Structure 1
């Protein structure tokens, strides 16, 4: 009896081990497919319990397998203006129905997450982890095929990564896409994606898309045009103002009274109701206001911030409410002083212009190269007070990004932000200079201190640790993105007048650091970036192309 049980146990282990090895091989065969890190929606962004019941109920009914709408209208678009809480609803749907599929949140300003070409491969790889049948079909179609996995046609991507693998799956699969309006700096790719999502014969019969977006003309035109009976469009404005006000009031009360520790002096239920009324249905206004009141700036009390926000928000037009809020918050934090304003713009330029999200440590390191050595401040001195508007300002492990796209839009529009406006072109130029200075200072031969140059990277077992030890984040970022900043900073990829600083840094880099840079890219797995970077340099810096070619 015991011997029989023992044999069954060993057989089960062998079967399980074989299955694990098989899975690992399948995942490895998909390694060339792009995957946008951090694009999945998660529990941190969901609606407060008890709020948004009406619209969440509508979405739940639409998703239900027994619903007539889910079969006849496989796409539901929820659209509305900035700050009304669409992303929180998308997060709630993604979390509540996680067993049905996956999610992708577009994010303007984050290169990986605003590129339409990353949508379908990321969804496919997430579905491969979620469904064994889908993974096997995907591997059978594109496994170990670098050409297909790096396809740049959205239609081919959708066919190979989504539609073909789903052919043998009968159960419904839900994909949540948040902030469709934030996809793409390339108008052609954006237009191609929107057309693909709104063409009924392109979609597998069991695939459902729940999509949120601002009410932008090109999106509404495609989703509401002729022959769009397969699309259900819901508007945030259709939610009753009484329901929205009650939800915002509950949210504010929870943040400022129920969950706030220590308790705030002179903030009561009447204050919460007043703030809810002034918010005019904008959850983003309520979020920032609560942050400001719960954690007021130095030398201010919670009640003083409350009074100021109520005063500045009273009688404002709905479309200017967020702008006045952001202006009020920044005015309270930074004096109307030219030196302080220059520091603010310089630091925010680094944060907003970075091509991948950076945490506080690399932001400080990059910005340090841009200021005078005798200036007694660092980027953290500016960022630490912006916790109501930016993530990661006090935690070195969390990327620093605007908490809401409306703040990014505000800062980059001089007509709206006025003296607080951030010049993104200058930001890219500054990051180019910072990257070149860091590479000039830090790149060296055999930077990871490898014992032999004859061993393949994949055979160096401790290479990830060596990278962490010897190539800090700011150097890694500089090696991978300096040329992209050069490209963006120059008009239409061509520079009319190149700054002398950039020229002075580029020539010694090409002469003295080029091979060290290629070595660093190699261990970082980014050698292909070198070809793109050198092509950009040759195009933009025509007058120094001879130096480049000789190097």
Structure 2
């Protein structure tokens, strides 16, 4: 009887142990689920309810417990429990019952509980992954939406990283080390009250190269944004593109204020052509102010290069832009602004008259003490490269050549760069060229560097084309190539490297002539290695195209580019291309039209309205209007205009109409253009009335026609 009591307690202990195991497993599963987010927990519970594996596992365990219960009931139907506790003959039954309970517990422990916890864990991880993926998708969608909003700011391709500013990266290592060291120290000093650094100097003194090198130097710090103005580029010469571009770049470089910029950009889109003051406050100042209360706000650097290349006059936006930048630097102690410009009086007056002028550091490159050393180092380095390829007779016969050329450069880096390239490109003629150079320029003293640069350009052109000057046909091609070099539009719609021999060959300029011109002008163009049909035509420095356009500087009419006449030559070439009836023959193996076709489609009207009327130009325009103008306006086939809208096309056509009214003869073309425009505007009005909710009425109101 006592043995049965002991067996009874043993069975109770085993039952309690089984119960503890079940409770423990339940707690573990509950904890696993509770660790999830509410959404993830609901996902697991829903998966558990519909899990056949989990149900079968639990049902198998319940069936085992039912079997133990049935076994206990089978002993005797009458007072079986009395015999269970008191009859000696039932001792073996108690032991067997305990073994069954242990077996059930062990089976659950080794298989069931593990599988259930494992399965619940897998469901939990699955739920986590689902919700992680949903979050990632949400974040990607939000990122895409915010990026689309930022793209709506229409930022200019004006960052220092743009390929169009590659020539500004040619700063010789080791030169301008003093000013770059000073700029690095200034930009890193979080306690400085001097938050604006103005670097100024005449053309060719290396301002842009310094600004470019500084941008690369602070890359690992926070370079908030850079805007490099570029004369002749629609997007990079418009002051109204500066603040939207700065905002766009800040959203990328300073993620903590991206949401504020996106929200401001969302509202900015609705207004589009907004004034500088509103742009500045909404897109720049207010988002940056969010960093003021940060425990340790990062230093944010803004670099503005080439203010003098802005197409807007100081009275028409430039002075406002500069004043607002000063205001930002005054109000935001963590902001550092580098401005590089030529010392043009209106710009310097605007800079000096701005409020908070006490926060400015002025840096006159003409007064830099080590400029001659930098130029000497640059010329010497270029000559050393030449010596590595073989004997360089110039330095062997004239040991003082580097010193003489440094003196002639008179602090002008572009002069030093041009003369070094000019003398190095042909080692066999270097000595002769050096003698001619000293003879033509030795009479000029200090302060006449730009006169010497003009004479140098003239000398280079004379030497380059002296043997073909009497070939009128060849020189006509040279003149057209110069027109393209000077007047080619660099913008978001154009590929910077699209101007090359292959492109001009489509317009009737033989590729061999273009490549020959590039080869002859290596000293003033960017040329790397062997010249091919795809070698782009790009000037080393803006001073060379400017020289070609200025009759007071370029006195040889064989090379002088008169912009109105040059635009006319280009417009005629583009019309001849656009009016072709076999345009599909221009497609390449991938069925793409050549880049020059895209350029012609986008910029024919720009060149036309800047051109001087000639009968040949009038005939070319007539032919295009009669054949394909309406195809262009409707954007059909190869004339598709991509992201441009009806409005921009209509306005372009309206400007053409206005130009022809003023400059063209009374030959019926004005009436034809007027009729075409009238049909187009009526079509737009009909579409607007048909779907007024989808039509942008602000765009309609901008139609100049």
Deviation of 1:480 after TM superposition, in Å, equals 0.9
Contact persistence 1:45–1:91 (CA under 8 A): yes
Determine the C-alpha separation between the residues in 1 that align with 2:361 and 2:581.
Answer: 55
Determine the C-alpha separation between the residues in 2 that align with 1:259 and 1:22.
Answer: 55
Partner of 1:88, secondary structure, is helix
- Counterpart residue number, 2:352: 224
Deviation of 1:34 after TM superposition, in Å, equals 2.0
1:75-114 C-alpha deviation (Å, 9 max, x unpaired): 1110111111111111111111123222121111222222
Aligned mate of 2:249, from 126, 129, 144: 126
1:32–1:200 CA distance, 2 compared to 1 (3 A): closer
Aligned mate of 2:187, from 28, 41, 63: 63
1:184–1:233 CA distance, 2 compared to 1 (3 A): same
1:44-86 C-alpha deviation (Å, 9 max, x unpaired): 6163332212212221222123342xxx232111011111111
1:395–1:313 CA distance, 2 compared to 1 (3 A): farther
**1:360-399 → structure 2 map (5 Å cutoff):** 362=499, 364=501, 367-368=504-505, 378-391=513-526, 394=531, 399=536
Structure 1 alignment gaps of length 5 or more = 449-464, 491-497
**1:160-239 → structure 2 map (5 Å cutoff):** 160-169=282-291, 170-186=297-313, 188-199=316-327, 204-225=332-353, 227=355, 228-239=357-368
Determine the C-alpha separation between the residues in 1 that align with 2:387 and 2:628.
Answer: 53
Greater length-normalized contact order (CA 8 Å, ≥ 6 residues apart): 1
Aligned mate of 1:425, from 564, 589, 612: 564
Q: Which protein has the bigger helix share?
A: 2
- Counterpart residue number, 2:670: 545
Aligned mate of 1:29, from 137, 143, 149: 149
Determine the C-alpha separation between the residues in 1 that align with 2:229 and 2:259.
Answer: 27
Contact persistence 1:200–1:230 (CA under 8 A): no
Contact persistence 1:184–1:190 (CA under 8 A): no
Determine the C-alpha separation between the residues in 2 that align with 1:296 and 1:121.
Answer: 47
Determine the C-alpha separation between the residues in 2 that align with 1:192 and 1:66.
Answer: 27
Deviation of 1:161 after TM superposition, in Å, equals 2.3
Partner of 1:174, secondary structure, is strand
Aligned residue pairs total 517
- Counterpart residue number, 2:408: 278
Deviation of 1:256 after TM superposition, in Å, equals 1.8
1:331-353 C-alpha deviation (Å, 9 max, x unpaired): 11011447254433221112211
Determine the C-alpha separation between the residues in 2 that align with 1:445 and 1:390.
Answer: 33
Partner of 2:353, secondary structure, is coil
Q: TM-score, normalised by structure 1?
A: 0.83
Is 1:86 equivalent to 2:207 in the alignment?
A: yes
Deviation of 1:486 after TM superposition, in Å, equals 1.7
Q: TM-score, normalised by structure 2?
A: 0.66
Contact persistence 2:159–2:225 (CA under 8 A): no
- Counterpart residue number, 1:401: 538
Structure 2 alignment gaps of length 5 or more = 1-116, 292-296, 677-705
Determine the C-alpha separation between the residues in 1 that align with 2:602 and 2:317.
Answer: 24
Determine the C-alpha separation between the residues in 2 that align with 1:293 and 1:225.
Answer: 45
- Counterpart residue number, 1:462: none
Deviation of 1:216 after TM superposition, in Å, equals 0.4
1:27–1:361 CA distance, 2 compared to 1 (3 A): closer
Deviation of 1:377 after TM superposition, in Å, equals 5.7
Partner of 1:165, secondary structure, is helix
Bigger shift: 526-535 or 470-479?
526-535
Determine the C-alpha separation between the residues in 1 that align with 2:318 and 2:366.
Answer: 25
1:205–1:360 CA distance, 2 compared to 1 (3 A): closer
